[in-house]
Structure 1
Amino acid sequence: MKPLLLTHFTATSCAGRGLDATLAALREQRGGLTPCNFERADLATWIGAVAGVDDEPVRDDLRDFECRNNRLAQLGLLQDGFAEAVEEAAKRYGPQRVGVFIGTSTAGILETELAYRQRDAASGALPIGFRYAETHNPYSIAAFVRAFFALRGPATAISSACSSGAKVFGTARRMLEAGLIDAAVVGGVDSLCLTTLYGFNSLELLSPQPCRPFDIDRSGISIGEAAAFALLERVDETNAQAAAAVSDDVILLLGIGESSDAYHMSSPHPEGLGARLAIEQALASGGVAAHEVDYINLHGTATPSNDTAESLAVKAVFDGTPCSSTKGATGHTLGAAGALEAVIAALSLREQWLPAGINTTQPDPQLALNYQLQSRPATLRAVMSNSFGFGGTNCSLLFGRGEFMRQTAGANRNDAERQNILRDAK
C-alpha cells in the first residue's frame, strides 16, 4: 500500500485528556483505573472513566446528539488542536472530500438504558424525547463527528468489537486510494454503560483488580472509555518527498493487516491464527520486514486465553521485539481501543519513547515475550499496534517515521520483495 500521512492525532482516556497528559502518564507509568463506581454498577472490578464527560453538553446546534458517547467524542475532538486541523483540511480540500470513519461497539447505548428506566408504566413506551438514531444507533457517532465539522464526504461507523477503532484505518485507506476522498477523520469512541459492564461480567472476564496484561497472575479485563482520532491524508510522490525533506519525524501509516478467523464468538483462536495473519499482512502491505519493527503495542487484554493466543501469533513472526500492552493504564476501551492504541503507537514514534506495561510485575514465562516493565527512551522507526476483536475480527497497523521510509525505501519495494518479506515472516 502507499503510505498515508498522519497529519494530526489525539487521544482522551482515563490516562488523560490529550497527548501531553497521555504521554506524562506513560512516562510516569501511572494509569487512570479506579474501583468501579459507575451508576448502578454493583461490581467488584476496576474501570477507566474519563473525568468530566458529563460536565459539558454537546454543542447547541447538535443537541439531538446529546448522550455520554457523543459528549466524550466532543471532548476528544477539542484536544491538541485536532478540530482546527480538520477544519483546515476541509477548507483546503472541500468538505465533500473529507471522509469520517469511526469505530464503536455500543455507541450511546447508555441513553437507551436511561430511557428504559423512564418508559411509560402502562404501555411500556419509551420517552418521547428519546432519539435512537442520534444516540444509540452505531452510526450516530460517525454522524455526530461529520456534523460537528459540517463535512459532506462519506461517513461510516465500524462495529467489529475490539478491532473497530483499528479497522477504520483500513476503510479510510481504501477510500483514499480509490480517490473518493483526499483526507479522512478516523477514530474510535466508546463510553461506559451498564450493558458493557454487566455483559463482560456475565462472561466472567472482569478482573477484580486493575488489569495486568501478560502477567503470570492476570485475571481479566478492566473496562475503560476513550475518544481517539487521527487525520489521514494521501501522500503522493511530491508530497512525500517534501514531507520527508522537511522532517524525518513525520508519522506515516505504512501497512494494514486485516483478517477474520471466525473461530469463536468470544474466544480467540487458541494458536492465534487470525492474529498472525493480520500481523503478516500488515508487514507485507507496508513492505517492512519483521526485524525492522522496533516496538509492538499488544492487544493485551489481560485474559488468560487472549494473551496466550496473541503471544503465539507474535512469536511466530517476531524474535524478541520489545512489546507491551497499554491497557493497564487506560483499561480496555473496547471499540475505541484500536484507535487509542494506534495514537499511542504514533505518539511513541514521535517522542522516541517506549511505554511499559503498567500493573504487570511478573510477565508470564510461558508466553516468552520481550515484555517491557519499564518505560524508557528508545530509537523507534517503525512500530505495530494490534487489535483483535470478538468473532476473530483482527487488525494490525504498522506506523513509521519519515526517516524509515526514506532509508529503507519500504514504501517502494516491489511485489516480489513484499512476498519475500511475507515468506520470511512465515
Structure 2
Amino acid sequence: MTPLAIRAYTTTSALGRGLQAHADALSAPRGGLAPNDFSVAPLDCWIGRVAGVEDEPLPPELAEWDCRNNRLAWIALRQDGFAEAMRAARERYGASRVAVLLGTSTASIGATEEGYRRLDHGRMPADLHRPVLHTPHSLASFVAAAFALEGPCLTVATACSSSAKVFANAERMIRLGLVDAAIVGGTDTLCDSVLFGFNSLELVSPEPCRPFDAARSGISIGEAAGFAILERVEAAMDAPLLIGYGEASDAHHMSTPHPEGLGAELALNDALARAGIAPDDVDYINLHGTASQKNDEVEAALVARTFPASTRASSTKGFTGHTLGAAGILEAAITLLSMRDGRVPANLGAETPDPLCGPQMAWRPEAADIRIALSNSFGFGGNNACLAFARAGRHA
C-alpha cells in the first residue's frame, strides 16, 4: 500500500493524560493499575482507571452527549494539540472531506446501566432520556458533532481490535478518494457490564495482570481514549507512517482464539505483505498480550516461530490494563512513542516467562533503534488486526 502520514496522535489512560505522561511511565517503568474502586458491587480485581473523569462534565453546548465515555474522549481530544490539528484538517480539506472512524466495544453503555438502575416507573430517568447516548454510535457521532465534521462517520465494534481496524478503514477511504483525511481512534470506559461480564467468564485476575508469565491468572481491565489523524504523505512529510495493516477472523469460537493462531497469523502476514516488508525488517512488536491463558500462548508461539531473535516484543497491558475497544489506538500510540524515543517498553508484571516465549521478548526496558514496528490487536472471538508503522523518513 501507499503509506499514510500520521499527522497527529494522542492518548489518555491510567498512565496519565497525553503522550508525555505515557512516555514517562513507560521509561520509569511505572504501571497505572490499582485495586478496583469502580464497580457498584465488590469485585476483587485490579483496574486501569483514568483519574478525574467524573469531575469533568462536557461544556454546556455539548451537554446532550455527556457521559463517562464521551467525557474521556473529550479529555483526550483536547491534549497534545490534537483539537487544533483536527480543526486545521477541516479547514484544509473541508468538513465533508474528513472522515471520523472510531472503534469502541462498550460505547456509552455505562450511562445505559445507570439509567436502568434508576428507572422511573419503567422509563429512563429524565436526565438520561437522551437517545444519542444509548447507541453504539454515540462516540463517533459526538466527535463529529463537536468538531462540525460532515464526512463519513463510522463506528467499528469488533471487540479488542476495534480501534486498530479503523486504520484499515481510513486507508481504504483515502485510497478510493472518498476523503482526504481521517480521524481514527476510539474510547472505552469502565462499566459494570464489562467488569462482571469478563469475571463471569473467569478471565479477570485478582491481582495485577502479568502478560506472558508462566503463572498468569487473567486480565486486568482498563479504560482509555486515543486518536490519530491520517493523511496522504505529501501533506505531512515529516510524520511517522502507517505502512501496512492486516485483518482476519478466526471463525473458531465465540471467545477463545484458534489454538494454532491461524487468524492472528493471517492478519500478521497480511500486514507484512501490504507493507512490503519481511519479518527480519521488524524492530519491535507491541503484542496484544492480555495475560489470559489462551491469548498469550497463541501469540507467544506465533512470534517465536515468525521473527528473528533481533526483533523485540512486549505487551504493555501490564501498564494500562486491557482497554478493550480502545486497546488498538492506545497501543498504536505507545508503539509510535517507542519509535520516537528509541525505547522498547518492558513486559511489565512478568517474572517467570512462559516457556512458549522466544528470545524476542523484552522483559525489561531496552534502548533500540526502532525504524519499523508492528502493533497487534487480537479481539474477543478471534477478530484480528495488525498495524505496521515506520519512523518518518525511514521507509523506502
> Aligned residue for 2:157?
159
For residues 359 and 264 of structure 2, the distance between their equivalents in structure 1, rounded to whole angstroms, comes to 16
Aligned 1:16-415 pairs, distance under 5 A: 16-120=16-120, 123-131=121-129, 133-235=131-233, 239=234, 243=237, 247=238, 250-320=239-309, 321-405=311-395, 409=396
For residues 132 and 221 of structure 1, the distance between their equivalents in structure 2, rounded to whole angstroms, comes to 33
How far the C-alpha of 1:369 sits from its partner, in A, is 4.7
Q: Which runs of 5+ in 1 are unaligned?
A: 410-426
- Look up the equivalent residue of 2:307 and give its one-letter code: F
**SS at the partner of 2:381?**
helix
How far the C-alpha of 1:129 sits from its partner, in A, is 3.4
- Look up the equivalent residue of 1:287 and give its one-letter code: G
Cα deviation 1:278-317 (Å, max 9, x = unaligned) = 0000000010111000000000000111101112222332
For residues 338 and 24 of structure 2, the distance between their equivalents in structure 1, rounded to whole angstroms, comes to 12
For residues 274 and 316 of structure 1, the distance between their equivalents in structure 2, rounded to whole angstroms, comes to 15
- Look up the equivalent residue of 2:244 and give its one-letter code: G
For residues 265 and 97 of structure 1, the distance between their equivalents in structure 2, rounded to whole angstroms, comes to 37
Instruction: Give the root-mean-square deviation of aligned CA atoms.
Output: 1.3
For residues 292 and 176 of structure 2, the distance between their equivalents in structure 1, rounded to whole angstroms, comes to 39
TM-score (structure 2 length as normaliser): 0.97
TM-score (structure 1 length as normaliser): 0.91
For residues 364 and 302 of structure 1, the distance between their equivalents in structure 2, rounded to whole angstroms, comes to 11
How far the C-alpha of 1:77 sits from its partner, in A, is 0.5
Q: Alpha carbons of 1:217 and 1:284: their partners in 2 closer, same or farther (altered >3 Å)? A: same
- Maintained 8 Å contact 2:301/2:356: no
For residues 301 and 34 of structure 2, the distance between their equivalents in structure 1, rounded to whole angstroms, comes to 31
How far the C-alpha of 1:217 sits from its partner, in A, is 1.1
- Maintained 8 Å contact 1:273/1:313: no
% identical equivalent positions: 55
- Maintained 8 Å contact 2:327/2:377: yes
**SS at the partner of 1:402?**
coil
- Maintained 8 Å contact 1:45/1:222: yes
- Look up the equivalent residue of 2:255 and give its one-letter code: S
**SS at the partner of 1:129?**
helix
How far the C-alpha of 1:131 sits from its partner, in A, is 4.0
- Maintained 8 Å contact 2:303/2:358: no
For residues 41 and 344 of structure 2, the distance between their equivalents in structure 1, rounded to whole angstroms, comes to 35
For residues 313 and 127 of structure 1, the distance between their equivalents in structure 2, rounded to whole angstroms, comes to 49
- Look up the equivalent residue of 1:204 and give its one-letter code: E
- Maintained 8 Å contact 1:355/1:376: yes
How far the C-alpha of 1:15 sits from its partner, in A, is 0.7
**SS at the partner of 1:339?**
helix
For residues 376 and 319 of structure 1, the distance between their equivalents in structure 2, rounded to whole angstroms, comes to 17
Q: Which runs of 5+ in 2 are unaligned?
A: none
Cα deviation 1:380-401 (Å, max 9, x = unaligned) = 1000000001121100000001
The structure where helix makes up a greater share of residues is 1
